[in-house]
Amino acid sequence: MLTAVQLNATPSSVGPFIDENPLLTHAHVKPYIIAILLHRGAVSFGEVLAAITPHCAQIDLKTGAYGEYEDCDPDKTRLEIIVEEVLGEMVASQLLRYNEEKSLWVLSLGANKKNLTKVISWVSTLGGQIPHHLLVD
């Protein structure tokens, strides 16, 4: 059996993702949003942040933009900027619509139900269930 000293001597011998979390990308954020959407049919900004935060690298949670996000709001974290971008992309593709009254992004089938195949794909891949409000449509 390995002792703590032996494990610390070879930090990456246990696996590439044990020692540190990789920087977030859009591809890392989307599954968290999709999981909440399939559960509730809608997602709030705070829910996404709360779900992802425990799995972020420290640099993703520091306030102040850097690198490719230098021109963004300096009062936001890298995580907040990426979540906003992903939600914006989903709104632009008509996969989500924003409900200003409740501050929620709501799953939508889009014009002519063009997003139905995407939602069915998510559900079948995850063994999930289509949200009730989409079944009514």
Instruction: Determine contact, residues 120/130, Cβ cutoff 8 Å.
Output: yes
Does any domain span residue 14? no
Does any domain span residue 113? yes
Q: Which residue has the tokens 């924003």?
A: 98
Give pTM, 2 decimals.
Answer: 0.74
Domain count, the chain: 1
The band of 1, judged by pLDDT with boundaries at 50, 70 and 90, is: very low
Does any domain span residue 3? no
Residues with Cβ within 8 Å of 47's Cβ and at least 6 positions away in sequence, in order, are 36
H or E, element range at 105: strand 104-107
52: domain range?
A: 21-132
pLDDT of residue 19: 58
**CATH number for the domain harbouring residue 76:** 1.10.10.10
pLDDT of residue 3: 47
The band of 22, judged by pLDDT with boundaries at 50, 70 and 90, is: confident
